[in-house]
Amino acid sequence: MVAQHGIRSGVEGPPIRYDALLKCLKELGLYAHQLQANVHMPRIGCGLAGGKWEKVELLIAETLPGTQVFVYDLPR
């Protein structure tokens, strides 16, 4: 998934592009549903992309209903 532009916050805000992330997660949701798969991920979009987990978590819940999602906190 590509859902950020750059790696530094600037005049336009953080690099995360929530609209692009939403599009990617929708595709992932369809694919996971077809395969009856679980999804494992770190807190996507919240590292260098500067996203807010509260927003990302809502997008995940919206796009992956009925799919088990496991989110991992990576060690620093």
pLDDT tens-digit map of 6-44: 877 777 788 999 999 999 999 999 999 999 999 999 999
Give tens-digit pLDDT for 46-56.
988 999 999 99
Q: Categorize the per-residue pLDDT at 57 as very low, low, confident or very high, splitting at 50, 70 and 90.
A: very high
Six-digit token string for 46: 């919240």
Report the top-level CATH class of 18-72: alpha beta
